[in-house]
Every structure is written in structure tokens, then in C-alpha cells.
């Protein structure tokens, strides 16, 4: 598809179903659905039509019969009346292909052969007369250069009708039931549908001389052929639907079981077998079309799923970034992602949500942790503390939260109670989907119209936490104006010891809050976690009451504690 679009060509879908014994029910329907899901919409083919139809080979038999007669009339093909030789196997069918013509059927006069076929109704196949100069012919390939004709014994054991390997014996074009072999149908269809490039796996390289011979027999110009390496697993075995990594490698499985995005799968597959000249492998379809060329590497390609998960994370992060603007709307991809996460969490679209939909809340969770998404299941597990709180999963208090062994849980809790949590005083609680009540009046409007964006709220909390900690280590902190504080942290007025105290206390506070609010799990910044959970939920998880903070009574200070009166900081309002 990529070279077609890059050269303003057409993407044609053809259903090759000549081998009815191997036909899988509903396979065509599933194939079309999976291509459409991946965003690979064809210009001609089933469901859309086109000037070269029909596009199912099983509906083109009259066309193949007509072209077989052309070869018979020109002497390039002959009728073969040989029946299958016994090989000890059972279940012979009416449609057959023998390994060789053992009765010298090519020497029959054309009239005699026609009489046996039409008057006596003897079963026959149509075989290609091997050109006398076949051994002198050069078969070109865009990847491998010149292709040699395989030398095989005419007495080789019979192969399947559509085997990619070709016997040295004259090859069957029309089977005894009147249907074409894969090779004959493909050559006829490629010519009639004006195919200019045939790009296929190296297992079909042995077929190329036969295809060139067929084009020559018809007097047609052949298309350009390019054979690319097979996709193999890390054991160099041909790739199967389920790899040893547990990844389901069929499209339906990747979509439904692994939650792979369409753009990710296209990006991943398009990069296999060649070297991207650019530095960035995270590419949308239009970028892939512009970048693609036929400089494939020779040999098979080992498929490693690490790149797939890397691309999944990067593409999701790109989609999430589109949500940053204040008035942005969810893309279809984001809607699909949030829907899948809800399914993993067993949350409906409306239940247990006060003030806004769970979709709005999930949107903010994605914004907070945009670069860690691999699958819906993985993401829901990683961020489970945003949706349900299980006190038994909260780590026990550490003896000390700093390396120096001086910062206790109680000391950090007091800073939270007396200072940090003051920033939410008197403001509407951020939407918490499992709260029993909320004083946020949404009127069916996005909460971003009432409260600052997530990043704004997190930034405000981050600044407030830092200010609270600086007050702990530097009593004169409040004497500086807010505009000068960021400059003063690098000023000579602050001793290195005070900077080290702040660094240690800041690390301790982050460990403490992450333990209490998020089970100690990795994830977004503590400020983002607090902004998402909201004031009431943070109080609950810290074991504090929801009474008005002005009425809280600080614990009795131990001798030697350095404390200052709490200073209120107004919340950023919109």
C-alpha cells in the first residue's frame, strides 16, 4: 500500500480464493473488517467495486478459461490426461495435479487432445510448455538482483496445487475441475488489473521464473518483482499467530486482547525489514508513505515486540497531548482508550460519578500519566488507586522517611495538616468519582470551565508544597516576595546546608504522600495525584477529618521542633 500511495497509485484488494478446500468461512468478511479497523481503505475491490472486477478469483473462472484457451491455441500450453499415480495416500479428489506428465501428452495433436477433452469427456489438466530457452533467461528482482531457476527432478514427489516451489516438470495452470492454480490466476489478474509491482515474501521467489514464463507466453510485459524476507520469531521460526512472548499476533487478537491501536500496528509493521532513514520511528500513515522505499534488507526479519510496546506508548502520548488545550475535545482514539479502561475497572459511564462523567475524570488521569500506557489492563492496574482505595494496600509507616533518620511520618503529616492541605480551603472539591457528595455545580459543563486545568492545579500544589517545606528549613522564607522565591533558592543568602535540608525533606514528603495516597506505586507526580484525588479524598487517605481546617488543633510540638505559623495560600481560581 505504501508505494502505491507514494506514487499516487491505487490500493486494490483482491480475494484469492481459488483453493476452495482451504477456504475459511467468514474469512473475507473478517479480512475486510480488520483492514478497515487499521485505516487501510482500498480504492478497488469487494464492497467498493472498480473497473477491473470482479475482485474474487472464484468469480473470474470464465476469464481464466479464456486465457487458458489462448495458450492452448498458441501452443504455449497443452492438455494433460495423466491421472494421479498411486502414492499410498487415500482420499484422491477429482481436481488433481501430478508431479509430471508421464504419458508425453504434449506430443498429442491439438485436434486429438481436443476430441478427448470435449467428445470423450476425459478429465485433463492444462500444463505450460516449458520454454526451450528457459535456462538462458534472466529473472530480475528489485531486492536480490538476478533469480536462478530451481533445478528439480521431474520425479519429485507431488506437492500441493498452490505450492510456492515449482517442479521442473511442466507446471499445471488449470486443474482437472476447471479451476486455475494460484500461479496462473495471479499472473492473469495482475496483468488485467494493471499491477506494476509485485512485493511478496521470499518463499515465493521460486515461483518467479514460472511467472516470467507465463508473461512471456502471453506476450505481456511483466511487473517489477521484489521479494522481502519472512517475519520470524526469536528462534528464527516462521512467525505464528501466538508468539512465545504470549502476544497474540493476529489482528483481532492484538486489537481485542492487547488493545493495540490501529496507528501503532501500521507503524510497527511498516518498519519491519528495512531501515528508516529518519531518526524518529513514531510515524503516522502519511509520514510512513513519505518515508517508505524498497530498500529492504536481504534475509528474514526477527520480530521483537519491544518496539511494538514502545510505539504504543508514544502514539498514546501523542493523542493525549492533543487534550492539553483548554477547549480540546476527545479524539475517537481517546474515547476508545477510556472506554477500554472503564471496562477493565468495571465502571459504567454514569455510575458513581458526581458532577461530571467518568470520561472526564479518565481524561485527566491520562493527562497525568500519558507516557506509561501499554494496554488497558496494564494501565488500569497501574493507576488503580485513582478509582478505588484499599487501605490494606497502603504501606506501613516507615521509621524514617529520610536517609539521615530524622523525618518521621507524624512530622510529615503535621506539615500536610497545618500547611499543605490549607490550599484547598473553601474551594469546590475536585471531582472524585466515588465520593458520596460534591458541591461542584457542573450544569452539564466540563469542570475545566469551573476549575483550572489539571496541570494548573498540579503546578499550584507543587509550588505550595515546596513553599511549605522551605518554611520548615528557612524561617525567613515568608519575608521574601513570591516573585523572588525562585531566584532566592539559588542565592548565596541560602546556605548549602539549608538547600540539602530542603532536598532531604522534599524527598521524604514525596515518599510519604506517595505511600499514603497511591500505595507507594510509581506514577504521576505527587502534585498531580493530589490534584486528581481532590481535597476530601486526600484527607481521607491521610487519616484526617474533613472538618474546617481552621478548627484543626496542631499537635503539641516536641522540644527542638522548628515550626512556623501556617500561612494560607489561595487556590488558583478560574
**pLDDT beyond 50 at 93:** no
Chain mean position to CA 100? 47
Domains of the chain: residue spans and CATH? 40-84+99-152+166-228 (3.40.50.620), 251-386 (1.10.1160.10), 395-434+452-542 (no CATH)
Cell 454514569 belongs to residue = 350
- What gap in Å lies between CA 283 and CA 268, rounded to an integer? 9
Q: What is the mean pLDDT of the chain?
A: 80
Question: What's residue 477's pLDDT?
Answer: 73
Kindly report, residue by residue over 59-88, the tens digit of the pLDDT.
999 999 999 999 999 999 999 999 876 444
- What is the three-class DSSP state of 29? helix
Residue 247 is predicted with a pLDDT of 55
The span from the CA of 61 to the CA of 56, in Å, is 10
Contact 406, 552 (CB under 8 A): no
Task: Name the residue with higher pLDDT: 484 or 179.
Answer: 179
- The predicted model gives 139-155 an average pLDDT of 73
Sign of CA dihedral 325, 327, 333, 335: positive
Per-residue pLDDT of 352-386, as tens digits, reads 433 457 888 898 899 999 999 999 999 999 999 99
CA distance 438 to 429: 7
Grid coordinates in use for 429?
Answer: 472539591
| 439 pLDDT higher than 50 | no
Q: List the single range of 5-9, 81-85, 471-475 with lowest mean pLDDT.
A: 5-9
The pLDDT value given to residue 424: 62
The 10s digit of each residue's pLDDT in 334-352 is: 999 999 999 998 887 664 4
Give one DSSP letter per residue of 185-203, joined into a string: HHHHHHHHTT--EEEEEGG
Q: How far apart are CA 521 and CA 376, in angstroms?
A: 18
pLDDT at 149 > cutoff 80: no
pLDDT of 5 > 90? The answer is no
Question: What's the pLDDT at 53?
Answer: 93
pLDDT for the residue numbered 151: 57
pLDDT tens per residue, range 162-220: 444 444 458 999 999 999 999 999 999 999 999 999 999 999 998 999 999 999 999 99
> Which amino acids are annotated catalytic?
241
Amino acid at each position: 500500500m505504501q508505494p502505491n500511495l507514494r506514487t499516487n497509485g491505487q490500493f486494490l484488494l483482491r480475494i484469492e480464493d481459488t483453493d476452495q478446500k482451504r477456504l475459511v468461512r467468514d474469512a473475507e468478511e473478517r479480512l475486510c473488517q480488520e483492514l478497515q479497523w487499521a485505516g487501510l481503505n482500498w480504492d478497488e475491490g469487494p464492497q467498493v467495486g472498480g473497473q477491473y472486477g470482479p475482485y474474487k478469483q472464484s468469480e473470474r473462472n470464465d476469464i481464466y478459461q479464456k486465457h487458458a484457451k489462448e495458450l492452448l491455441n498458441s501452443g504455449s500450453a497443452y492438455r494433460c490426461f495423466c491421472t494421479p499415480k498411486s502414492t499410498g495416500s487415500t482420499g484422491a479428489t477429482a481436481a488433481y495435479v501430478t508431479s509430471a506428465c508421464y504419458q508425453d501428452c504434449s506430443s498429442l495433436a491439438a485436434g486429438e487432445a481436443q476430441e478427448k477433452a470435449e467428445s470423450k469427456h476425459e478429465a485433463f489438466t492444462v500444463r505450460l510448455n516449458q520454454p526451450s530457452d528457459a535456462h538462458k533467461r534472466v529473472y530480475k528482482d528489485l531486492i536480490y538482483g538476478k533469480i536462478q531457476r530451481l533445478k528439480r527432478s521431474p520425479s519429485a514427489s507431488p506437492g500441493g496445487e498452490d505450492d510456492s516451489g515449482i517442479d521442473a516438470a511442466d507446471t499445471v495452470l488449470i486443474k482437472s475441475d476447471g479451476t486455475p492454480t494460484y500461479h496462473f490466476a495471479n499472473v492473469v489478474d495482475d496483468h488485467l488489473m494493471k499491477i506494476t509491482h509485485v512485493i511478496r515474501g521470499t518463499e515465493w521467489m521460486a515461483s518467479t521464473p514460472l511467472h516470467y514464463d507465463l508473461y512471456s507466453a502471453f506476450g505481456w510485459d511483466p511487473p517489477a518483482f521484489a521479494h522481502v524476507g519472512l517475519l520470524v520469531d526469536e528462534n528464527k521460526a516462521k512467525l505464528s499467530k501466538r508468539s512465545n512472548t504470549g502476544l497474540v499476533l493476529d489482528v483481532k487478537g492484538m486489537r481485542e486482547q492487547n488493545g493495540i491501536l490501529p496507528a501503532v500496528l501500521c507503524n510497527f509493521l511498516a518498519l519491519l525489514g528495512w531501515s528508516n532513514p529518519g531518526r524518529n520511528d513514531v510515524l503516522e500513515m502519511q509520514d510512513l508513505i513519505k518515508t517508505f522505499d524498497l530498500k529492504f534488507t536481504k534475509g528474514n526479519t526477527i520480530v521483537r515486540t519491544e518496539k511494538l510496546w514502545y510505539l504504543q506508548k508514544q502514539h498514546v502520548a501523542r493523542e493525549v497531548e492533543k487534550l492539553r488545550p483548554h477547549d480540546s475535545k476527545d479524539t475517537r482514539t481517546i474515547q476508545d482508550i477510556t472506554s477500554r479502561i472503564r471496562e477493565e475497572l468495571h465502571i459504567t459511564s454514569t455510575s458513581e460519578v458526581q458532577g461530571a462523567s467518568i470520561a472526564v475524570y479518565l481524561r485527566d488521569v491520562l493527562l497525568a500519566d500519558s507516557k506509561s500506557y501499554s494496554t488497558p489492563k496494564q494501565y488500569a492496574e497501574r493507576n488503580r488507586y485513582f478509582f478505588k482505595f484499599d487501605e490494606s494496600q497502603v504501606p506501613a509507616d516507615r521509621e524514617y522517611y529520610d536517609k539521615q533518620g530524622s523525618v518521621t511520618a507524624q512530622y510529615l503529616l503535621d506539615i500536610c495538616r497545618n500547611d499543605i492541605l490549607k490550599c484547598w480551603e473553601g474551594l469546590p472539591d475536585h471531582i472524585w468519582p466515588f465520593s458520596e457528595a460534591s458541591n461542584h455545580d457542573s450544569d452539564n459543563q466540563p469542570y475545566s470551565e469551573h476549575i483550572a486545568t489539571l496541570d494548573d492545579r498540579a503546578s499550584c500544589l507543587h509550588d505550595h508544597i515546596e513553599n511549605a517545606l522551605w518554611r520548615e528549613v528557612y524561617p525567613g522564607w515568608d519575608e521574601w516576595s513570591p516573585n523572588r522565591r525562585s531566584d532566592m533558592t539559588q542565592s548565596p543568602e541560602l546556605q548549602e546546608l539549608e538547600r540539602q535540608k530542603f532536598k532531604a525533606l522534599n524527598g521524604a514528603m514525596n515518599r510519604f504522600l506517595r505511600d499514603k495516597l497511591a500505595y507507594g506505586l510509581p506514577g504521576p507526580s505527587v502534585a498531580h495525584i493530589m490534584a486528581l484525588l481532590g481535597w476530601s479524598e486526600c484527607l481521607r487517605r491521610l487519616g484526617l477529618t474533613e472538618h474546617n481546617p481552621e478548627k484543626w488543633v496542631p499537635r503539641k510540638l516536641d522540644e527542638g521542633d522548628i515550626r512556623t505559623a501556617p500561612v494560607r495560600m489561595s487556590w488558583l481560581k478560574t
